[in-house]
Structure 1
Amino acid sequence: MPLVSTAELVSAAVAGGRGVAAFNVITLEHAEAIAAGAEQAGAPAILQISENAVRFHGGRLAPIAAAAAAVARVSGAPLALHLDHVVSVGLLHEAGDAGFGSVMFDASKLPYEENVRATADAVRWGRERGIWIEAELGKVGGKEGEAPLDAHAPGVRTDPAEAAAYVAATGVDALAVAVGSSHAMTERTAALDHELIGRLRDAVPVPLVLHGSSGVPDAEIRAAVASGMVKINVGTALNTAFSGAVRDFLAADGRSVDPRKYLAPGRDAMAATVAGFLGLLVPAVS
């Protein structure tokens, strides 16, 4: 199936009153698992490659992007390609040639006015090339290299009035907000502020994005989508499933040296995790 755009998938989710999930790609097995899980669930999904993943691949975007796009094109599920948590303007400018229809440009560590200027520049660049731009406002902790952050600390969560001003000033196509989740959580214990999600939904004219969804329980994700979240980002949950399956295989067969033997169960575990998350994003039937 041809690649679809993130904008198309997000627009369809908004129209259908549901969410769409974006899953982090680190290796070819991640991309294959996301495609398989989406096919199992009969749902679309977004394959997203972060700047950290690009760094893992020697700073070269093209090979992993080409691999993910190739997986998407032979999948029976509608899949989009998204470049995530981009800090480097140079990497942002590689997105179009590498086949990405969307980028999350992350200037959230900058002071507010600098964040606005940098993000507005990214949006102008994206508009000229038909690339959809997501940004972040607030502090979603847990990113690699950051000190631990209490998702419930004062000043961490996104303020609706500031979000409205930020979207107006930058022109972003979607906004990632801080509402109680955190990146890199390995236990699903996050409690979201659903009243705040509703206020943010009413304050801004663009879709809301939930980062750090791996640590959010099923019921909380369903409630978040009902409250107004649209794009649901999942990364660590795939790595947890993958690593657990690989550990189990090697514990049972410690002499195996063929990586295909343990990569296969790891990939299958990720696919099951993808299908499980996708099943949370459709409206409940009353």
Structure 2
Amino acid sequence: MIKYIIRRVVFLIPVIIGVTFIVFSLMYITPGDPAKIILAESAPEASVQQLREEMGLNKPFIVQYGNYLKNLVVNQDIGNSYVTKRPVLKELADCFPATFKLAALSMVFAILLGIPIGIISAVKQYSWFDSVSMIFALIGISMPVFWLGLLLILLFAVKLHLFPASGFSSLKYMILPAVALGAQSVAIITRMTRSSMLEVIRQDYIRTVRAKGQKERVVILKHALRNALIPIITIIGLQFGGLLGGAVLTESIFSIPGIGRLMVDSIKMRDFPVVQGGVLFIAIAFSIVNLLVDLLYAYVDPRIKSQYS
């Protein structure tokens, strides 16, 4: 198991290098001059050129990227914000708790709703419950997050006055953003749970367990669900990793001070170090989530654990 973890961490290195190169290249070719944005468009050209020289923006692309990698590897430093002058790591550290709370709460909402609905839909295949749940799952997958968020604000905040429209200071403020962000995950988990359960409950060993007189609840939860968990865990891990990096629209709509909103504001200000650091942070977080999902496989299926060793 330890060797497997070390191997996965080593494989993470080229992923990080590839992400940094792509993001750095995109920021380099993006129109706009950070020096002019910082000093304002009316600033003298001499001042702009002096600031560009201080920031290293006049150097060739390869030199700039090499310096960025050198600071990242040697000093574990991803630069300072052009706008606030603070280290990017501190900027991300201040915003990460809000993003993590939002993603975690959305994932809990998706799991508590998606897995039970998927199980019932599989057990009662082609029933009215199955048909209705699949219709809502299709709607959940198709509906954009920003549209659902606006509808929730309009209904529950503006019309009914049940929840606040913005902020993230308490659980009451978190409900609408979590529902808006987790709705699509509910739909995906529901469909995956239903599909995986349908495949398992048709196996011979399930019929054997039923023939032995086991209660239907034991058959479904102890035997069928456990053997159907691998694809469900996979989709949950992918969804959680996506939520950590995909909360940009939700954080913008509900005015949540998270990493997504920070990156949007940084893109507008051409604050390249913050954008690069944010994308790198999300890539690492996504990779760590995938590693944890792989390790969780071993506790669900002993056959996978034997392969790790």
The TM-score normalised by the length of structure 2 is: 0.26
TM-score (norm 1): 0.28
Q: Which has the higher helix share?
A: 2
Structure having the larger proportion of residues in strand: 1
Higher Cα radius of gyration: 2
Highest RCO, 1 vs 2 (Cα 8 Å, sep ≥ 6): 2
